[in-house]
Structure 1
């Protein structure tokens, strides 16, 4: 495996250089300067025709390979890769032909239909039409052949996938002896001496081929021992946790758990690469030795990394760093069990490799597989019950401390069912099936745990980065002037993107463990991402995602332009705020519409077909969208005619308040009680609306004042006018005036009418005038009367008369 990785790295490094040195055979030939469009189209047709024999050869070879009954899984997988590459090449060629066909059809549309009834046509037009029709027929013929080859490639790919599935199920459902049969275990034990003999022969053969007198084997062994000692020393250094402190956050705990596994992985990679380089320096090992080394390297890496991750999760010696809520004793037992599961999984990798390398009998593989399933099932059950029966932590920070892997409690029963299925598969002799189930369960659990840790670490990193005390948080709030709600939304967006990325990475990794290979994933991804058909409609998610990105970029750009227009241009014109809002709203909607149209074009939507969409939209409006369209048109009328503007004080049947926003569908009014009222725009157009700020902000106050009949009306008038003129909000023109409105039951009634410069201050100015009028009338000795009534009692009850008489007598005495 390590040798393969080094070879792959060298190939990737040399790939770009080779690509620069060799011209691309798939690149279309450039037409000579002066060539016409028709010549270019003919060259494209010729290029597609040259592809047909090559594709036919690949398809014929694939058919011959599939006809062989002894073809193995590796050959089938390679065949699927070859067919998929051919399919992509054919589809790309068809796409280029479609572009050329569109050009031909456009030219034919300009020429129009051919004359009928024997009508003459200019010779040059007739020749051009004939040439275009010939090229069109040629393109259609080539495109049809390419389409047939695409269908044939898909059919052959499906056949190869079916053969792979059949082989897979044949292997895992291959019957053997039951685990209850003693012969299974006896035959397996009898192969152990053979295993030792052949392993000794393999190592002796490698030593005999050592021209350095055994130095190579000694050096490799010494290197292994030294590296192991170094690993132990570094592990003892890394495993010590951070000291308990109040500053220890969930992010630190998560990072330490992942850090230990990452450091173990990097150390093992460095160690194995070093050993591989030294082995190659002493001479290339035999293929069997290289395969054994790869198996040992894979097993060691899996064991060390999984054990390190388990230690980071359970932290048997550091309860304050523990990610699960179990006590110290439960953490120690859980960690040791998980490490033993990882060790057995690594041993299974080595055992499988030895079985192939040493050509051991099937009895060894069957016996080892059965023993492995039973041992791992027992360890998994022990791990589940240890975690479930462990006592929760009891410390002072538990109330504010966050624990992870809470979801695992809901997976206990499914895991137990899977383990039971693996064990039951051994009873009828399906050893390979039980081995497959238990192995994939372990690997899937490791992947899910790793992805879960990365998910929560990403959340904590985003939360920490957007904190107001960090550099990033201060830049967003102070540098970009973002509000707290916007920063919070950014955090949600980043976390969502990370989660989506984890899902897109995690799902393929999990599927790879359960009868799915990289070829399947690549084919599915290409078909899903680059286009698939639903009926006669081709859906291209890549184009849709690109269109969404263009739409988002267009909306952001439109908002930035509107912001620039409002703050840098309109703000300097001292224009009314309502007019500014109307201009910015129209500019914003125009930018949104432009971004939407560009996104549709990028997605491949033909804008000329908007007429069909418009017809369908008209039918929808007639049936159910007329109210929405009515509000939309009313919003445009409000922005154009401006009967109301942002900041106006209006009164409608829906409420009274100040206009805050005029949107496309509705208008938002904020009442004086700080309540937002949403009114449809059609109501503001079709119903009466009172607007105090429509023509100007000036308003009028009407105050009613009653004084005693003993007062001088002229003096009262002068006092009222003086109070009005002294107020700073009263305007000189129209000047205030007083009306003598009538003779009341107990007062002379006057009405003061005052014009002020801002109608929004009517209530406060009226209150100020009432205070001033009351104070001035009191200083002038003018009484403000209140209603008086005379009550005449015609007859009282006798009891009440006696009571009144007694009260009167007692008062007289």
Structure 2
């Protein structure tokens, strides 16, 4: 089997190399991805039993719901209580017992709903018999006997549910005790004080431990080489080992370079449609192809037969270390890309800062990979605490320093963005906060480790690094989703910032919350407990409400609401237009159907969910008083809207005037009515004002209306001739009704002329302004033809002693030439002194 796998891998590698040499990098990457998929399938098939066991452990809903074995439950309770009383019990034992108890708790929860239908039937039968007789009253013997039988039967049917509820409470209490013990142990571990790694007295212990590990590896290699059987195995597997090493070298060196160059070329053409998406997907080969080389190297080491106890742990840790390093390099290239535009990466940074960021992330990958290998070396034996503290602190300090530098780069991004004129987005503010937290944790972790709290320092630094990586992956995934959505919608970049990619990104963030919780030390059992609580729900009165009930409520209400909208659309477009009902009544019918449909949808949703809201009646009654006072205006407008829709004093399209606002009714809703004025502006009027106030409706019941045209002519005009002209103009208008006939009135003698009025009835008042304008034009034309003057305001000013003033004004230029300016001013003032001017007198002309 191993030989066939090696030959298949060799054939795949040769094809990849041949495609790379023929300058077909994309095909080479695709074939490498296919090879990776083959390896992944083989790996998953090997891990299938363990995965199945993990899935059975993870899924809390997989509990059996059959008959409960009380004896088995009692035995489990005894075991759990003994373990809880033993302080030496390991965390693994507690987790296993907790999982078994949680499974029993799920069974008991399912058993609580046993015989529900039968219990409801018995309660209905008891209700049909009426209330029990009061004290001192005698009930009919037949009814009393029937009531006793039904009561006893009801007690028998309820007994399993009561017992299941008691067992459920017991199991839940045991689970809480186990969780409390695990939390206490976790807190104690974080606060455990280890030997200080900066104390020189602890360094010799670490040196001896490191020297011992090196000697142990040497002894293992010498012992393996001295074994004839292992040397024979090495000799027999030399061709296979050589093939594995060749494949590992090609994939880790040449394959990585090929993937990086191809990704860089595609990123340089990222402006083309879909190139950014394709470049990101192709860049995954930077991780996949070298990782295949790491796996080939591991297989070569295993095939050599020279692997001992410690080296076996090192070999088993090599794939994880290699993947950590490759993933860090890839992530650094995505967050801090090499191409020239500042806005292409996730952070807005200049090229030199991006280069610095790639170096920091790659260095972080090297440190974490070394930590993984070091942990593998120390795993087979129990090392002294001082040695573990001294050997582990350099990794913690380096990670803290690199985390501090990455946080500073994030803060630099925020500073550059804030210098621009555009306002900072929410993502930029979040990056700033995360950067500050990274800087703080990068300093706090090494400080705690130096004091001796190495576990607490590691619990701050390493989860912070993993969280930053996860945040970067989420941001990259959001960008890929936006790019894919824009590509599906035609390639326009404007689609990247629409609602759908944003909602998908929000859903990815919500889905990643359990991963963040695991990163920061949450146990899987805690997440399972949270999921169990969400799945089983909470008690609301005598009803248990779960998220599934809320989902069913939303689904039923959504279906009812959709059906209501469909019925409304059919009535509005197909049914009602074919009837003789006027437009306003049609709108009222459609709105009424909508309100009725929503109400029915809510009732159906509550009924389908099985919610018992009777226990909320008292609370609702107490709240209704306060809500009534607070929402009385809203309720008034709502009731007024219902009255408007059914009585229809106004309808959509009517020309109304209310509160000084004149316009056309555009929409009547439940709370307010929208009036579109003649300035094409929308005015929202509360419905209560339309019911309680004065409303002028110009077009509700008929469109006829009166038009008054005022006309003024000069004094001395022939009034009878003017009257006849106005009659002729009014009767010539096509929209003027002749029954009743137009009338012309000589109203008064005005200050500037003779005042007339033309009063006509229009058949369509919507054309009032147009008819008014046309009549004014015609009146002006006829007056010009008949030499009738239209007056205008005029004012005459009379001055007393006008001759003296004129003589003085004529003498001013000559006097000014003969005298100095000061004397001229004095003479002018003396000339104006005699006789004050009379007040102006206005005389009408």
Tell me the TM-score range normalised by the shorter chain: 0.7 to 0.9
**654-663 or 131-140: bigger deviation:** 131-140
* Structure ID, larger Rg: 2
Question: Helix, strand or coil: the match of 1:421?
Answer: helix
- Map 1:127-146; keep pairs closer than 5 Å: 128-146=146-164
Question: Helix, strand or coil: the match of 2:726?
Answer: helix
2:506 and 2:723 map into 1 onto residues whose CA distance is 78
Match of 2:257 in 1: 236
Deviations 1:525-562 (A, max 9, x none): 32135413589885534423442344344434433332
Question: Helix, strand or coil: the match of 2:347?
Answer: coil
> 8 Å contact 1:239–1:260 — kept in the other structure?
no
1:379 to 371, 396, 402: 402
Question: Helix, strand or coil: the match of 2:379?
Answer: helix
TM-score, with normalisation over the residues of structure 1?
A: 0.80
> 8 Å contact 1:199–1:358 — kept in the other structure?
no
Q: CA deviation at 1:447?
A: 1.4
2:781 and 2:633 map into 1 onto residues whose CA distance is 56
Report whether the alignment pairs 1:76 with 2:94. Answer: yes
Residues 445 and 649 of structure 1: CA distance in aligned 2, closer, same or farther (over 3 Å): same
1:232 and 1:515 map into 2 onto residues whose CA distance is 36
Match of 1:559 in 2: 565
Q: CA deviation at 1:214?
A: 5.2
Residues 660 and 364 of structure 1: CA distance in aligned 2, closer, same or farther (over 3 Å): same
Report whether the alignment pairs 1:767 with 2:763. Answer: no
Report whether the alignment pairs 1:223 with 2:229. Answer: no
Q: CA deviation at 1:567?
A: 1.7
**604-613 or 673-682: bigger deviation:** 604-613
2:550 to 544, 550, 558: 544
Match of 1:481 in 2: none
> 8 Å contact 1:216–1:279 — kept in the other structure?
no
**543-552 or 271-280: bigger deviation:** 271-280
Deviations 1:90-121 (A, max 9, x none): 11221345555333322221222345768464
> 8 Å contact 1:739–1:750 — kept in the other structure?
yes
2:404 and 2:623 map into 1 onto residues whose CA distance is 61
2:148 and 2:695 map into 1 onto residues whose CA distance is 69
> 8 Å contact 1:706–1:750 — kept in the other structure?
yes
Match of 2:208 in 1: 190
- Map 1:394-793; keep pairs closer than 5 Å: 407-459=430-482, 461-462=484-485, 491-492=498-499, 494-532=500-538, 540-573=546-579, 575-606=581-612, 615-616=621-622, 619-620=625-626, 623-653=629-659, 655-707=661-713, 715-741=721-747, 749-786=755-792
1:377 and 1:12 map into 2 onto residues whose CA distance is 35
Deviations 1:29-88 (A, max 9, x none): xxxxxxxxxxxxxxxxxx5xx454443333233223333433222222222222222222
> 8 Å contact 2:112–2:162 — kept in the other structure?
no
**263-272 or 642-651: bigger deviation:** 263-272
2:777 and 2:436 map into 1 onto residues whose CA distance is 79
TM-score, with normalisation over the residues of structure 2?
A: 0.77
Residues 156 and 609 of structure 1: CA distance in aligned 2, closer, same or farther (over 3 Å): closer
Match of 2:828 in 1: none
> 8 Å contact 2:322–2:369 — kept in the other structure?
yes
- Map 1:236-255; keep pairs closer than 5 Å: 236-240=257-261, 241-242=264-265, 248=271
1:94 and 1:805 map into 2 onto residues whose CA distance is 121
1:383 and 1:749 map into 2 onto residues whose CA distance is 88
Deviations 1:250-288 (A, max 9, x none): 9865874x53664345446766788899999999x9998
Match of 2:80 in 1: 62
Residues 98 and 56 of structure 1: CA distance in aligned 2, closer, same or farther (over 3 Å): farther
Deviations 1:756-778 (A, max 9, x none): 23322212220111111211232
Gaps of 5+ in 2: 1-38, 57-61, 813-845
Match of 2:333 in 1: 311
Alignment coverage as a number of residue pairs: 758
2:304 and 2:163 map into 1 onto residues whose CA distance is 56
Match of 1:356 in 2: 379
Question: Helix, strand or coil: the match of 1:656?
Answer: strand
2:198 and 2:350 map into 1 onto residues whose CA distance is 39
Gaps of 5+ in 1: 18-23, 29-46, 474-486
Residues 281 and 102 of structure 1: CA distance in aligned 2, closer, same or farther (over 3 Å): farther
> 8 Å contact 1:352–1:365 — kept in the other structure?
no
